[in-house]
Structure 1
Amino acid sequence: MNIRRIWLDRDQRGRQQWSDFLTRADLIPDDHLDYTIGIYDQEKLIGTGSIFQNILKCIAIDFSYQNENLLSKIVQVLRERLQEIGYQHYFLYTKPKNSQLFQSLGFAEIAATAELVFMEQGFPDFEDYLAELKKHQRMTKYNAAIVMNANPFTKGHLYLVTEAAKRAETVYLFVLSEERSLFDAKTRFELVKEGVSHLSNVVVLPTREYMVSSATFPSYFLKDQAKANIAQVQAVLDATLFKEKIASALSITTRFVGEEPFSEVTEIYNQAMKKTFGSQLKLVILPRKRIGEEVISATRVRALMEQELYTAIKPLVPPKTFEEIIKQKNK
């Protein structure tokens, strides 16, 4: 037996062999991977595992080799690779039937659905994140949450937060920490914080990897390229983690979202939240803010930036956001 890298972007035969192997294992071959390895018995692929950022994915073992301890070999090689590139904290998805196997390799379960278990290993971990949130907790009774990417923060976002702030004693406003946007996480966080600074009952917090991230909901960042069935499974996991662990930690009773006329994936997410939250957590879907007939959206702002139509952008965003857009233009 030997372990070697599979160059999915260069080796067509190797890619096809890997894809067929995963399909037989009832897994969906993922196009968004940074590094893939295979274990071979001569030229026969008998095990594989991959990494995207700090996430272990697409791990499968040939059923007839299940007693050869191949899983721990694959995980060890992938962990060594992650440590080489500077990660001390990593995640994986697996099916519920495999959860105990990964627990025996040191992974801890964060959340589980009927189809997926989301696990992690290393530090800082989910318990550290909950402790960070608790430091900002306000002892109010009616608490709401909003989760947004704010790429960039618009008057549409501000409208959503303002409406939530009118209806709740405290609004926990989570800004995505994921670095897969035109505006980086630090800039987005600061623009949101500045934009809502006049609302004294709004607390702005980071999501880290635990809400709408490459770890919990990678389809969110693929939008039009995402497969609806995969997005659905991931959306349910993300909603379950929020309901069971984050909402309960901060005594959140309501989550506010904007209606989604543009993105199928975001609409799938809204519907998954509605179903997953049930009667335990209220989901309020608000109509989008409009200027005339036009819905205000970050997508529209980015499109106008590409066309350099800055006078058209100005009415859609708060002053600080507009300053940042002009700064980006002049870079």
Structure 2
Amino acid sequence: MLSLKRIWLDKDKKTYNQWLELMKKSSLNPTKEQIDYSVGIFDDDKLVATGSYEGKILKCLAVCKDYQSENLLTQILVHLLEKMRAEGVNHFLVYTKPENEDLFTSLGFHKIIGNDLIIFMEQGFPDFNDYEKLLESKKVNLNTTASGIVMNANPFTRGHQYLIETAASQSEHVYVFVLSEDKSYFSTKDRVAMVELGVAHLDNVTVLPTADYIVSSATFPSYFLKDEAELDIARKQASLDAKLFKDRIAKTLNITKRFVGEEPYSAVTEIYNESMRQVFGNELELVVLPRIDVGGNVISATKVRTAIKENDYILLGEFLPTTTYNYLKEHKEL
């Protein structure tokens, strides 16, 4: 007899092993996934279907091949959505295979973007239409072509400033998207503030949020795992993230160029740059600028965070613009 119940992956080793096997048979790799809640459907003691979520993101959805005619995935999804709503979540996001689109559509989801391998869908509010309206409200001129930059700015360095200043000198307008995801050393509020202070002298720059739609846990979770991420998975995620930027966001703001810094340190970020080049093709120009250095020492936010911990004020003075240095000092980070 089939029964649905919560599963505790960190406490029940037997169930965890069944869950892991079901993930593998479904071509899913969950070993690095962050999970808040999981549920399973059991045939006696055998796990035959499962699903999980983290925050607003549905994930690790799988049904045993022998039970795929039983409509178990719908039961899993209905349970998870009810549980999430009870916790105050009103916006739901999911990556899924194209063959699952009809099922998710029947549950109120709609597709944001997709390719032959994967689609990105959502339900609830605020949704991508609301994000597009925000972008439209920040658009400087209907006829202005612009450039785009996406950065975490953790924290905002002279390297970030150089990237923006270069783009601003070569563009009518520049939209700088600062990652909204709060998974970094510095909070989203602090990172946005440091960017805004660092570009205040540039009249043709607008700072924008990424929400859930650019390099987020929904579109590109591997970014936040960095060296722990599976590179093949990161490549698939990066391609879809780049496609969403090209097909939806860039078109909304008349963005014709995207500026990035070359990436000598992070394999995941380099894969992202490669994926953008492939996805953008001739439709959107990708401009890759070399990293700037001080005395042969390449500027990076990672080195800045280390210098903060080690009280290396000489390096901080060399790597940080005055605006960031003063902000961190004012907020007692230095």
Q: TM-score, normalised by structure 2?
A: 0.96
Q: In 1, Cα distance between the equivalents of 2:260 and 2:205?
A: 15
Any stretches of 5+ residues in structure 1 without a counterpart?
Answer: none
- Indicate the SS of the match to 1:235: helix
Report the equivalent of 1:19. 20
Q: Give yes or no for the alignment of 1:159 onto 2:167.
A: no
Quick one: which of 127, 130, 143 aligns to 2:129? 127
Report the CA distance between 1:64 and its aligned residue. 2.7
1:149–1:175 contact (8 Å) kept in structure 2: yes
Q: In 2, Cα distance between the equivalents of 1:52 and 1:79?
A: 12
Report the equivalent of 1:240. 243
Alignment of structure 1 residues 221-232 onto 2, 5 Å: 221-232=224-235
Quick one: which of 95, 98, 101 aligns to 1:99? 101
1:50–1:57 contact (8 Å) kept in structure 2: yes
The one-letter amino acid paired with 1:128 is D
Alignment of structure 1 residues 175-214 onto 2, 5 Å: 175-214=178-217
Report the CA distance between 1:315 and its aligned residue. 2.0
The one-letter amino acid paired with 2:106 is S
Range moving further from structure 2, 74-83 or 40-49: 74-83
The one-letter amino acid paired with 1:199 is L
Q: What do the CA deviations read for 1:8-36 (whole angstroms, capped 9, x no partner)? A: 12222211100101111222224321211
- Indicate the SS of the match to 2:138: coil
Alignment of structure 1 residues 291-306 onto 2, 5 Å: 291-306=294-309
- Indicate the SS of the match to 1:135: helix
User: Identity percentage over the alignment?
Assistant: 49
- Indicate the SS of the match to 1:3: strand
Report the equivalent of 1:84. 86
2:259–2:288 contact (8 Å) kept in structure 1: yes
Q: In 2, Cα distance between the equivalents of 1:251 and 1:195?
A: 24
1:111–1:118 contact (8 Å) kept in structure 2: yes
- Indicate the SS of the match to 1:273: helix
- Indicate the SS of the match to 1:93: strand
Report the equivalent of 2:218. 215
Q: Give yes or no for the alignment of 1:279 onto 2:279.
A: no
The one-letter amino acid paired with 1:104 is S
Report the equivalent of 1:173. 176
Report the equivalent of 2:66. 64
The one-letter amino acid paired with 1:71 is L
Range moving further from structure 2, 2-11 or 181-190: 2-11
Report the CA distance between 1:328 and its aligned residue. 5.0
The one-letter amino acid paired with 1:23 is K
Q: In 1, Cα distance between the equivalents of 2:332 and 2:59?
A: 37
Q: In 2, Cα distance between the equivalents of 1:274 and 1:174?
A: 19
Q: In 1, Cα distance between the equivalents of 2:187 and 2:128?
A: 23
Q: In 1, Cα distance between the equivalents of 2:236 and 2:124?
A: 25
Range moving further from structure 2, 144-153 or 9-18: 9-18
Q: What do the CA deviations read for 1:82-105 (whole angstroms, capped 9, x no partner)? A: 223221101001011111111111
| Structure 1 segments of 4+ aligned residues over 6 angstroms from their partners | none
The one-letter amino acid paired with 1:45 is L
Q: In 1, Cα distance between the equivalents of 2:31 and 2:95?
A: 13
Q: In 2, Cα distance between the equivalents of 1:7 and 1:321?
A: 43
Q: TM-score, normalised by structure 1?
A: 0.97
2:74–2:103 contact (8 Å) kept in structure 1: no
Report the CA distance between 1:329 and its aligned residue. 4.4
2:197–2:324 contact (8 Å) kept in structure 1: no
1:170–1:201 contact (8 Å) kept in structure 2: yes
RMSD: 1.4
The one-letter amino acid paired with 1:19 is L
Report the equivalent of 1:3. 4
1:173–1:205 contact (8 Å) kept in structure 2: yes
The one-letter amino acid paired with 2:91 is H
Q: How many positions carry a matched residue from both structures? A: 331
Q: Give yes or no for the alignment of 1:29 onto 2:19.
A: no
Any stretches of 5+ residues in structure 2 without a counterpart?
Answer: none
Report the equivalent of 1:48. 50
Q: In 2, Cα distance between the equivalents of 1:142 and 1:164?
A: 13
